[in-house]
Structure 1
Amino acid sequence: MSEIVATLQAQLDGLREARASGLRRVRFDTEEIEYRNDADLAAAIADLERRIANCGGRRLHTVKLYSSKGF
């Protein structure tokens, strides 16, 4: 599993670097991807972050809080 996380992390680092430098084209090994705009690049970064978090066994939870005045 750590090999998968390492690969995903390398891709994430590449995407972040491309976004920081204003590039829209990213190459991973033999695959080259060109994103249409910054929003697409940001969505790809968010997707990789979610996938890395899921590999670690951590799951996102939603907590709902309710309150009242006590009456």
Structure 2
Amino acid sequence: MSYTLAQRDALRSAIASGVLRLSYDGRNVEYRSMAELKAALNEVEAALARDNGAPVTRQIKIYADKDL
């Protein structure tokens, strides 16, 4: 799905104001928690970056219980 900058801006302003209900383009969306709202913002920003040709960055985390 292709996201718009207006959607990203609406998510950012909702997080900044602490509101869980958004309205844009005649649609209403209500999120259950701030964590869900932040996850939606991360998805929109990642999709916009992919659409603009930004490289995908991945992290590999290594954990050990004993000394190596």
TM-score (norm 1): 0.73
Give the corresponding residue for 2:65: none
Structure 1: gaps (5+ residues): 65-71
Query: Aligned in 2, Cα 1:16/1:62: closer, same or farther, shift over 3 Å?
Result: closer
Count of aligned residue pairs for this structure pair: 59
Residue from 20, 37, 56 that aligns with 2:33: 37
Q: Kindly, what percent of the aligned residue pairs are identical?
A: 36
Give the corresponding residue for 2:20: 24
Shift of 1:63: 7.4
User: After TM superposition, what 4+ stretches of structure 1 lie above 6 angstroms from structure 2?
Assistant: none
How many angstroms apart in 2 are the aligned matches of 1:63 and 1:18? 29
| Higher-helix-fraction structure | 1
Structure 2: gaps (5+ residues): 61-68
The structure number with the bigger radius of gyration is 1
Q: Which moved more, 1:52-61 or 1:27-36?
A: 52-61
Give the corresponding residue for 2:49: 53
Q: Look up the SS of the partner of 2:4 in the other structure.
A: helix
